[in-house]
Amino acid sequence: MKKAAIIGGGASGLLCAIFCAKENIDVDIFEQNSKCAKKILVSGNGRCNITNTNLTYHDYFSQNPLFVEFALKEFGFVKFEKFCHSIGLLLDIKDDGRVYPLSNEAKSVASLLINYAKNLGVTFHTDTKITDIKKLLYEHDAVVVATGSEAASHLGGNSDGVEFAKAFGHNIIPTYPSLVQLHLDSKIVKKMSGAKASGEVTLLINSKKELTCKGDILFTDYGASGFAILDISQGASVALMEHSHVSISVNLLPAFTAQKLSSHISTLAQNMPHFSILDILAGLVPLKIAQAILEDLDILASTCNNEINMKLAKKIANQLLNWRFEVSDTHGFRHAEVAGGGVDTTEINPKTFESLKQKNLYFCGEVLDVVGKRGGYNFAFAWASGYLAAKDITKV
Ligand SMILES: Cc1cc2nc3c(=O)[nH]c(=O)nc-3n(C[C@H](O)[C@H](O)[C@H](O)COP(=O)(O)OP(=O)(O)OC[C@H]3O[C@@H](n4cnc5c(N)ncnc54)[C@H](O)[C@@H]3O)c2cc1C
């Protein structure tokens, strides 16, 4: 009986173990944590955005962008859904293509995968950190490195996979945190800590507009978080790594034009003589943000009525629609959902995920230089790569 060792009991490792064991391979999973699938358990705020119905290589970042194409076609949404149904994991497909378990609980995804693997006879070695991959390769017919990335170290994130790859002469694309909060170089931001708005964030690299994303913006002690920030963080993180100048423009009221907003402010000031400028802004954005905008513009919160002329209204409107912040850093790997960079995919067979440098050695999931957008794309690649590695290991 053929023996396979899988290092890492996360998304890609579990899928690979299942498809190996289904074909009667003797599978050992080695997991450093006391339990498997820690990232699955916390994913999607405990709901697990398990995949997406629209998977294309455009949804991924890599130095080798077309690398993911074969895997996404070979184990795309339809095949994945069929597999999920076969183990009783029913799915809830949202209008925008995001897919969640019907239970709406990440727990059900983790436990069904782990228990199904156990039913198939997979042997789990938890609390077992692999350090000597060459020994493992000597003892097994195939070894799969499914160790993930450095993101979220409290859940098991580390660079072990990259170190294993280096031991076989693989090239490594520099790693960086992605889907991560940003540090803003601004004293005023701290004063807005805890305030949340729904708006738009534009990423500027060397003062050039790169990308605009809509969604929540949450101000924090160190900078900003929220979906709009996470969605631009990939570009910001790469640019910071390359020492480019990175800034963001925050539009807190995308439904307004500058003209509409300034006339709203000045009209309200004229019609409501007892309203201060702070009262007027508090009707538009959270109070902490309103206070911070006025402080940033050096405008007294008590300014009212005739003092609020069109020039002042325009100045405030412009700040509400285009508030610039310098980005000094990301919040780091510890807080990132994923990491970009990793094992250079030009040295990996895109159809089998076998190393082109070492026979019977496979790499799948986030350890590779492949990182997806938010929306289920990272799991989609983990499932697809784990499946294809298993398909190759089990071929007769
Ligand atoms: C907070 C959070 C939320 C997320 N939400 C989503 C989401 O909703 N949708 C989505 O698509 N993606 C999401 N992701 C990303 C997703 O979790 C990862 O892309 C995915 O888990 C990667 O799978 P993987 O198998 O490559 O690695 P992992 O799932 O990270 O598994 C790797 C495993 O290897 C183990 N390991 C590492 N080194 C060793 C060693 N030397 N010996 C033994 N074991 C080792 C680790 O402990 C870990 O269990 C989220 C991530 C985080 C952190």
Mean pLDDT across 203-220: 98
User: What's the burial of 78, exposed, middle or buried (CB within 10 Å: 0-12/13-18/19+)?
Assistant: exposed
Query: Could you tell me which of 191, 348, 312, 318 has the C-alpha nearest to residue 253?
Result: 318
Strands 3-7, 26-30: pairing kind: parallel
Q: How many structural domains is the chain composed of?
A: 2
Residues 18 and 113 in one domain: yes
Q: Is residue 348 part of a domain?
A: yes
386 lines ligand 1 (CB under 6 A): no
Which ligand 1 atom sits nearest the alpha carbon of residue 47? 8
| Domain identity same for 24 and 148 | yes
Residue 28 lies in a domain: yes
Distance between Cα 40 and ligand 1 center (Å) = 7
Atom 38 in ligand 1: which residue has the minimum CA distance?
A: 147
For residues 172 and 146, the answer to whether their CB atoms sit within 8 Å is no
Q: Is the dihedral of CA 207, 200, 46, 121 positive or negative?
A: negative
Residue 22 lies in a domain: yes
**pLDDT tens digits for 84-131?**
999 999 999 999 999 999 999 999 999 999 999 999 999 999 999 999
Give the list of residues 6+ apart from residue 113 with CB closer than 8 angstroms, or none: 14, 15, 18, 37, 40, 87
Indicate if 190 and 152 belong to the same structural domain. Answer: no
> Residues 49, 149: one domain?
yes
| Domain end position, chosen among 331, 360, 379 | 331
End-of-domain residue from the set 311, 331, 351: 331
Q: Do 361 and 242 share a structural domain?
A: no
Confidence at residue 148, expressed as pLDDT on a 0 to 100 scale: 98
pLDDT confidence of residue 396: 76
CATH number of the domain bearing residue 122: 3.50.50.60
Ligand 1 site-directed mutation target among 163, 166, 331, 378, most atoms within 8 Å of CB: 378
158 and 10 in one domain?
yes
pTM of the model: 0.97
Mean pLDDT score, 178-205: 97
Same domain, 37 and 147: yes
- Are residues 145 and 215 located together in one domain of the fold? no
291 and 244 in a common domain:
yes
- 333: which residues sit within 8 A by CB, 6+ positions away? 150, 151, 152, 153, 157, 175, 177, 339
pLDDT value at 373 more than 90: yes
338 lines ligand 1 (CB under 6 A): yes
pLDDT at 291 over 80: yes
pLDDT score recorded for residue 305:
83
Same domain assignment for residues 124 and 22: yes
Q: What is the mean pLDDT of the chain?
A: 97
Same domain, 185 and 171: no
Q: Is the same domain home to 243 and 189? A: yes
Looking at residues 231-256, what average pLDDT do you find?
A: 98
Question: For residue 233, is it within any domain?
Answer: yes
User: Is 115 part of any domain?
Assistant: yes
Best residue among 94, 337, 367 to mutate for probing ligand 1, ranked by most atoms within 8 Å of CB? 337
Q: Is residue 46 part of a domain?
A: yes
Q: Is the pLDDT of residue 340 over 90?
A: yes
Q: How confident is the model at residue 306 (pLDDT cuts 50, 70, 90)?
A: confident
pLDDT 10s digits, 53-85:
999 999 999 999 999 999 999 999 999 999 999
Does 124 map to a domain? yes
Domain boundary (278, 297, 331) is at 331
Take atom 46 of ligand 1 and give the residue whose Cα is closest. Answer: 156
The residue segments making up the domain with residue 97 are: 3-175+342-393
Rg over CA atoms, the chain: 25
| 336 in a structural domain | no
